[in-house]
Amino acid sequence: MAEIPSNLRAILVRIGVLALGLAGIVGAALLHRFAGLGLGVTLGVEYVSVTCVVWGLNGFLFRSTPLRGLLLLVFSAAAFGVLFLVAYFLAKVVGPFVVNSAGQLVGLVHLVDLIFYAFAVMTIAGAAGCAFSRNIIYSAWSLLFAFMGVAGLYVFLGADFPAVAQVLIYVGGILVLILFAIMLTKQIGGDPKLTNAHLALPVGAALAAATVATLTYMAVMAPWKLSPTRSWEPVSAGLGIAFLTDFLLPFEVASVVLLAALIGAVIIARKEIKETSDSVLQR
């Protein structure tokens, strides 16, 4: 029998413990659910399994800080707590809501609903691409999908004028401006892929998950005071009347703000052009 190298053996041991821990987590949960295993025993087994998983994963992640003894116990207790909260949240909040929605959906799947979900997925996928893409140009393009998806959602809510304004201003104006800025800052040198490469994904994903969980909980659980459903009719005339009666002062202030922003942007950008021409002349 061939000699097994010691580092290979260590890796195999880690993988074995990792698999054992995962099997323990799933197995204890299944036994608790279907075979009536006691709650205390289940929690104990889960904790031991999580400890196994943490120790096994430590062979591959964060190898510079090996977890031993008390540190391992504390770390796996923290991981166990987080997992427990997530599982509790899934079981008590998301599960009933999903089951409820699914039950409502089974009988009556509407084309309208499918279109809504298509727009929602388009929006969130575009935003996720913007948040997690390494290349800033890809981020800008996925922002396009997010903006278009939001415009579709506005149409769903009977807001035709904001939808058109969204397409005109965001997609036609702001996105082009952003692409301009990317191209201008990329042109002379400099890295368009500037981002926190090693930090972005785990920290960002954790932050997004926590925020989405909180906001979803609030959106589902809060007792919103809903009004009777409204008919689908054009809103442009109503918006125009609102702008010129109830919101006249904000409307005028907004026009002044736009003028000031225009002049300010021109002044800031003009200084920049002058400096470049100077520096070009000096060379």
Partner 1 sequence: MTTIGLPHFLIVGGALFALGMVTVVTRRNAVGILMGVELILNAANVNFIAFNHFVEGPGKLSGQVFAIFVIVLAAAEAAIGLAIVLAIYQTFRTIDVQETDSLRQ
Instruction: Please report, as residue ranges, which positions from 184 to 223 form the binding site for partner 1 (by CB under 8 A).
Output: 184-185, 188-190, 192, 194-196, 199-200, 203-205, 207-208, 211-212, 215-216, 218-220
262 sits near partner 1 (criterion: CB under 8 A): yes
190 torsion bin: left (phi>0), alpha (psi -120 to 50), beta (else): left
174-181: long-range contacts at Cβ-Cβ below 8 A with a sequence spacing of 24 or more? 175/140, 175/143, 175/144, 175/147, 178/140, 178/143, 179/137, 179/140
Residue 147 interacts with partner 1 (CB under 8 A): yes or no: yes
- Amino acid type, 44: G
Q: Tell me: does residue 234 bind partner 1 (CB under 8 A).
A: no
Q: Counting contacts by CB under 8 A, is residue 174 touching partner 1?
A: yes
Which CB sits closer to partner 1, 67 or 178? 178
Decide: is 283 part of the binding site for partner 1 (CB under 8 A).
no
Q: Report the distance separating Cα 89 and Cα 83, nearest Å.
A: 10
Instruction: Answer yes or no whether residue 166 interacts with partner 1 by CB under 8 A.
Output: yes
Residues 6+ apart with CB under 8 A from 206: none
Tell me the closest approach of the beta carbon of residue 219 to partner 1, in angstroms: 4
Task: Yes or no: say if 42 and 31 are a contact pair by the CB < 8 Å rule.
Answer: yes
Q: Answer yes or no whether residue 158 interacts with partner 1 by CB under 8 A.
A: yes
Query: Binding of partner 1 at residue 170 (CB under 8 A)?
Result: yes
- Hey, CA dihedral for 128, 130, 135, 137, is it positive or negative? positive
Interface with partner 1 includes 246 (CB under 8 A)? yes
Q: Determine if 243 is a binding residue for partner 1 (CB under 8 A).
A: yes
Q: How many CA atoms lie within 13 A of 242 on its CB side?
A: 5
Within positions 84 to 113, which residues make up the interface with partner 1, using CB under 8 A?
A: 101, 104-105, 108, 110, 112-113
DSSP string, 48-107: HHHHHHHHHHHTTSSTTS---HHHHHHHHHHHHHHHHHHHHHIIIIIHHHHHHHHHHHHH
Span from 8-16, 19-27, 54-62, 239-247 in contact with partner 1 (CB under 8 A): 239-247
Residues 123-142 that bind partner 1 (CB under 8 A): 123-124, 127-128, 130-132, 136, 139-140
Nearer to partner 1, 49 or 123 (CB): 123
Among 61, 74, 87, 265, binds partner 1 (CB under 8 A): 265
Using CB under 8 A as the binding criterion, the count of chain residues that bind partner 1 stands at 94
What is the chain's alpha carbon radius of gyration, rounded to the nearest angstrom? 28
Regarding 51 and contact with partner 1 (CB under 8 A), the answer is no
